[in-house]
């Protein structure tokens, strides 16, 4: 597939290729594992991807409707296309795109001047249009001004421009409808370049046709072909990609070969000499994926390392420079990649964890990062939004996406991520795939969540029975708790947990040495135990060894450890059962950290009390503990508050995010490490809907659903693979 691409020296060339995934092979036992179908595609100036749930999203240039959103408005961030329709495959050409739905229906949209959409007309389409009705497809590739597809029975069809024989029909006549090519030969893979096309038969034979002025067909000549010719006879291929004027393929054994135009080193053989025969690249290295663009190429090797080479204008190689490379160069070292897609002047890749990153030219927003600045290094973008909730634990984080999928990342020494391992994760991992979640709570080293049906599940450390499954055995995947009972709220502390049932009953379990369970004893409980029977609750928050909850009537009650006045009862007396705090005041939300407590009244007043090092209760009188609820940021109306350790963050009624307290490693998000003894605005250009604070990091969900995190990142708790962030940065959860 390809496009009109601007590459070095100001020349305008047609075409930009990308990777193609093979779904089968007669020698599968000799090949490395592969992904199924491409879900990330880079066109000339636009990009499209398919989310885990099958939703198609596109962004970038849209003057000809190539995004398919019904407009001709450029988009600088991923935009959902064809709402309600789920896709398995997407291909982006120069000014048009094509996709295949889960039912095998082929759809195309965008520019149609040469019949590249295949609907029998030359009328452009702003939304996905069904092509070849009644025929199901398994593969499609959109090129410069033509398109080719493979039906579910292996029949190859092509349509659109044909001035160079790129359709392979034996003529130079354009086709406005899908025309059968190479009749009788079954195909499994197809890739359309700018003015040439290559495909792989079911037997693994590589065949190419079309323009051959630069040797891009690979048949040893410079003679164009109007019909398919066999390339590299006797060698079985499993991948093929056709770029602007060069091509690359991967053999069954994983050997990478490239041929064609090589002016800026796009073949990767260390020269700038054109090749008319397949030439081995990166000898001795096995490759899994390959994608050829206008004047650059990128691939994923057998170790899942991303490598790029060729022209590097605007940083399209992603190596922090604009210097062209004639040999494969490792990009984003240390990150494992699953796919890569090269466009006209930009590149996008998908990591094994599902994170999408883009880099290079960004004049039309094709990088999808909400700005139009070029990037010379892989930059994470957020595809699957909005987020419904995010929760920060001591050193791990979990979030729930708009599709109700649960993802966790960060510290995993006790299995708190829930992915069946104790391996730390620097980027989000899907947990309990196929189960829809509504709420998640992260504790010190354990996690609990409530499914959309109200079922409670917990996992991670369990030495004090904090999981509530009746044992002290750690769990590395979600396990059902209190089966048969439906829950609406859950809160996870350091070694204990509390939750509220749909009937409003409060239950707690786990460590109880300071009376943090509230059952009137100091006895550890290994299963959910009813607290304050007969009283209905609507909110619960638990800290290290204390707890607070709000009744359905709005009354606030706290109990447990009170050595710093964190229960807010005016004394340091420990309470073993829920005790009224700030009697007569009505509350809507509370956060108990174990050192201090903050809560928001129904009228929006923020109050804090307890331990006050770094002014964390909102008073500049440092170290002076507060034994009673004390107003913070008087005159400002608040909606939500969160805190942990020595930091606190809250969201005003107008959506402003404010944080205060200790600030090592930038955990307040101010862009510095200077402590703040009173609330200060964070990321003032963004309005927020939710915030969660961990021990040394924090995350927040913007009103648009975008997830941002900042602070310490020793265990990967930020989810973006960096050292630490001193200001909020987007964290993708693809």
Q: How far apart are CA 616 and CA 610, in angstroms?
A: 9
Report if residue 573 sits inside a domain: no
Q: What percent of the chain has pLDDT over 90?
A: 74
Residue 322's CB: how many other CB atoms inside 10 A?
16
Buried b (16+ CB within 10 A) or exposed e, 136-170: ebbbbbbbbbbbbbbbeeebbbbbbbbebbbbbbe
Q: Mean pLDDT lowest for which of 166-170, 514-518, 675-679?
A: 675-679
pLDDT value at position 556? 98
Nearby residues of 636 by Cβ (< 8 Å), 6 or more positions away: 606, 652, 679
Residue 374 shares a structural domain with residue 452: no
Residue 369 shares a structural domain with residue 391: no
Nearby residues of 95 by Cβ (< 8 Å), 6 or more positions away: 3, 4, 44, 63, 64, 66, 110, 111
- Res. 34: pLDDT tops 80: no
pLDDT value at position 36? 39
pLDDT value at position 252? 96
Report if residue 634 sits inside a domain: no
Average pLDDT estimate for 44-58: 88
pLDDT value at position 187? 98
pLDDT value at position 387? 62
At residue 494, φ and ψ (nearest 5 deg) are: -75, -50
Helix (H, G, I), strand (E, B) or coil at 388: strand
CB 128 within 8 A of CB 81: yes
Q: What is the pLDDT of residues 542-586, one digit of tens each?
A: 999 999 999 999 999 999 999 999 999 999 999 999 999 999 999
- Res. 6: pLDDT tops 50: no
Average pLDDT estimate for 226-248: 97
pLDDT value at position 12? 24
Whose CA is closest to 487, among 460, 450, 520, 462? 450
Positive or negative CA dihedral for 599, 605, 611, 616? Answer: positive
β-strand partners of 389: 400
pLDDT value at position 588? 96
Residue 331 shares a structural domain with residue 223: yes
Residue 12 shares a structural domain with residue 147: yes
- Res. 4: pLDDT tops 70: no
Confidence label for 660 from pLDDT (cuts 50, 70 and 90): very high
CB 40 within 8 A of CB 52: no
At residue 350, φ and ψ (nearest 5 deg) are: -120, 125
**Segments forming the whole domain that contains residue 469:** 384-534
pLDDT value at position 664? 85
Q: Is the bond into 362 cis (omega within 30 degrees of 0)?
A: no
pLDDT value at position 18? 31
pLDDT value at position 619? 62
DSSP string, 455-485: -EEEEE--TTSTT-SSS---EEEEEEESTT-
Confidence label for 28 from pLDDT (cuts 50, 70 and 90): very low
Positive or negative CA dihedral for 126, 127, 132, 138? Answer: positive
- Res. 251: pLDDT tops 90: yes
β-strand partners of 431: 406
Instruction: For the sheet with 306-310, list strands across it.
Output: 287-292, 296-301, 306-310, 325-331
Residue that finishes a domain, picked among 519, 534, 549: 534
Residue 512 is encoded by which pair of tokens? 């109880």
Higher pLDDT, 9 or 729: 729
CB 561 within 8 A of CB 530: no
Nearby residues of 575 by Cβ (< 8 Å), 6 or more positions away: 515, 558, 559, 560, 562, 567, 569
- Res. 622: pLDDT tops 80: no
Using CB atoms within 10 A of its CB, is residue 690 exposed (0-12), middle (13-18) or buried (19+)?
buried
Report if residue 375 sits inside a domain: yes
Q: What is the pLDDT of residues 377-430, one digit of tens each?
A: 988 776 655 567 888 888 899 989 877 889 899 999 999 999 999 999 887 888
Residue 468 shares a structural domain with residue 517: yes
Using CB atoms within 10 A of its CB, is residue 213 exposed (0-12), middle (13-18) or buried (19+)?
middle
Q: How far apart are CA 516 and CA 428, in angstroms?
A: 32
Nearby residues of 427 by Cβ (< 8 Å), 6 or more positions away: 351, 353, 354, 355, 409, 716, 719, 720, 721
Report if residue 633 sits inside a domain: no
Q: What is the pLDDT of residues 106-143, one digit of tens each?
A: 999 999 999 999 999 999 999 999 999 999 999 999 99
Report if residue 466 sits inside a domain: yes
Whose CA is closest to 252, among 286, 293, 275? 286
CATH of the domain at 402: 2.130.10.30
Mean pLDDT over the full length of the chain? 89
Using CB atoms within 10 A of its CB, is residue 674 exposed (0-12), middle (13-18) or buried (19+)?
exposed
Residue 257 shares a structural domain with residue 161: yes
Residue 305 shares a structural domain with residue 411: no
Q: What is the pLDDT of residues 506-544, one digit of tens each?
A: 999 999 999 999 999 999 999 999 999 999 999 999 999
Residue 422 shares a structural domain with residue 335: no
Q: How many domains does the chain divide into? A: 2
Helix (H, G, I), strand (E, B) or coil at 9: helix
pLDDT value at position 88? 93
pLDDT value at position 386? 54
Q: How far apart are CA 538 and CA 531, in angstroms?
A: 13
Average pLDDT estimate for 196-212: 98
CB 595 within 8 A of CB 648: no
Q: What is the pLDDT of residues 103-112, one digit of tens each?
A: 999 999 999 9
Residue that finishes a domain, picked among 470, 500, 534: 534
- Secondary structure letter of residue 585 according to DSSP: -
Residue 114 shares a structural domain with residue 251: yes
At residue 639, φ and ψ (nearest 5 deg) are: -115, -35
- Res. 647: pLDDT tops 60: yes
pLDDT value at position 479? 97
Report if residue 482 sits inside a domain: yes
Residue 113 shares a structural domain with residue 260: yes
Residue 330 shares a structural domain with residue 396: no
User: Model's pTM, two decimal places?
Assistant: 0.60
Residue that finishes a domain, picked among 318, 348, 381: 381
pLDDT value at position 429? 86
Report if residue 574 sits inside a domain: no
CB 487 within 8 A of CB 502: yes
pLDDT value at position 705? 74
Residue 482 shares a structural domain with residue 421: yes
Q: What percent of the chain has pLDDT over 70?
A: 91
pLDDT value at position 645? 84
Report if residue 144 sits inside a domain: yes
């Amino acid at each position: 597939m390809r496009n009109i691409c601007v590459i070095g020296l100001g020349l305008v060339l047609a075409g930009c290729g990308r990777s193609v995934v093979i779904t089968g092979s007669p020698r599968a036992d000799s090949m490395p594992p592969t992904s199924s179908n491409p879900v990330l595609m880079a066109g000339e100036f636009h990009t499209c991807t398919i989310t885990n749930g099958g939703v198609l999203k596109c962004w970038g240039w849209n003057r000809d409707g190539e995004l398919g959103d019904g407009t001709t408005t450029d988009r600088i961030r991923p935009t959902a296309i064809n709402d309600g329709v789920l896709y398995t495959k997407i291909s982006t050409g120069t000014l048009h795109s094509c996709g295949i739905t889960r039912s095998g229906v082929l759809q195309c949209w965008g520019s149609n001047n040469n019949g590249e959409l295949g609907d029998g007309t030359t009328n452009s389409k702003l939304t996905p249009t069904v092509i070849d009705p009644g025929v199901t497809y398994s593969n499609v590739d959109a090129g410069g001004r033509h398109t080719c597809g493979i039906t579910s029975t292996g029949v190859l069809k092509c349509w659109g421009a044909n001035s160079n024989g790129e359709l392979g029909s034996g003529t130079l006549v354009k086709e406005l409808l899908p025309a059968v090519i190479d009749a009788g030969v079954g195909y499994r893979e197809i890739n359309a370049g700018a003015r040439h096309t290559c495909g792989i038969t079911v037997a693994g034979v590589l065949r190419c046709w079309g323009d051959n002025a630069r040797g891009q067909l690979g048949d040893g000549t410079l003679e164009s072909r109007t019909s398919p010719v066999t390339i590299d006879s006797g060698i079985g291929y499993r991948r093929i990609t056709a770029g602007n004027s060069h091509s690359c393929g991967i053999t069954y054994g994983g050997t990478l070969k490239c041929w064609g135009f090589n002016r800026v080193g796009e073949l990767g053989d260390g020269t700038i000499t054109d090749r008319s025969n397949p030439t081995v690249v990166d000898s001795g290295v096995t490759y899994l994926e390959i994608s050829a663009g206008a004047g650059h190429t990128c691939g994923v090797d057998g170790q899942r390392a991303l490598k790029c080479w060729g022209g590097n204008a605007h940083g399209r190689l992603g190596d922090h420079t604009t210097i062209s490379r004639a040999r494969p160069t490792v990009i984003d070292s240390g990150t494992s990649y699953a796919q890569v897609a090269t466009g006209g002047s930009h590149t996008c890749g998908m990591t094994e964890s599902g994170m999408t990153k883009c880099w290079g030219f960004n004049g039309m927003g094709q990088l999808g990062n909400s700005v139009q600045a070029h990037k010379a290094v892989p930059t994470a973008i957020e595809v699957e939004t909005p987020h419904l909730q995010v929760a920060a634990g001591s050193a791990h984080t979990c979030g729930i996406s708009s599709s109700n999928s649960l993802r966790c990342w960060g510290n995993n020494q006790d299995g708190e991520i829930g992915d069946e391992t104790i391996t730390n994760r620097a980027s989000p991992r899907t947990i309990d795939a196929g189960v829809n979640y509504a709420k998640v709570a992260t504790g010190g080293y354990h996690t609990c969540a409530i499914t959309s049906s109200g079922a409670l599940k917990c996992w991670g450390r369990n030495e004090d029975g904090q999981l509530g499954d009746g044992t002290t055995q750690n769990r590395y995947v979600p396990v059902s708790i209190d089966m048969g009972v439906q829950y609406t709220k859950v809160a996870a502390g350091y070694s204990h947990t509390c939750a509220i049932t749909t009937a409003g009953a409060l239950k707690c379990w786990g460590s109880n040495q300071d009376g943090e369970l509230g059952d009137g004893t100091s006895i550890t409980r290994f299963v959910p135990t009813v607290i304050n029977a007969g009283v209905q609750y609507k909110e619960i928050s638990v800290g290290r060894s204390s707890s607070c909850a709000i009744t359905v009537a709005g009354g606030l009650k706290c109990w447990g450890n009170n050595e710093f006045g964190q229960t807010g009862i005016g004394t340091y007396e420990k309470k073993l059962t829920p005790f009224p705090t700030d009697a007569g005041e009505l509350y809507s939300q509370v956060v108990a950290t174990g050192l201090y407590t903050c809560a928001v009244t129904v009228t929006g007043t923020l109050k804090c009390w307890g331990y006050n090092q770094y002014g964390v209760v909102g008073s500049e009188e440092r170290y002076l503990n507060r034994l009673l609820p004390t107003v913070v940021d008087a005159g400002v109306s608040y909606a939500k508050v969160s805190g942990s350790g020595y930091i606190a963050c809250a969201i005003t009624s107008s959506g402003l995010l404010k944080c205060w307290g200790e600030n090592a490693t930038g955990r307040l998000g101010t862009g510095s490490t200077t402590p703040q003894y009173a609330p200060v605005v964070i990321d003032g250009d963004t309005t927020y809907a939710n915030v969660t604070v961990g021990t040394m990091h924090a995350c927040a969900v913007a009103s648009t659903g975008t997830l941002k995190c900042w602070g310490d990142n020793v265990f990967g708790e930020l989810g973006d693979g960096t050292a630490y962030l001193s200001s909020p940065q987007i964290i993708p959860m693809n």
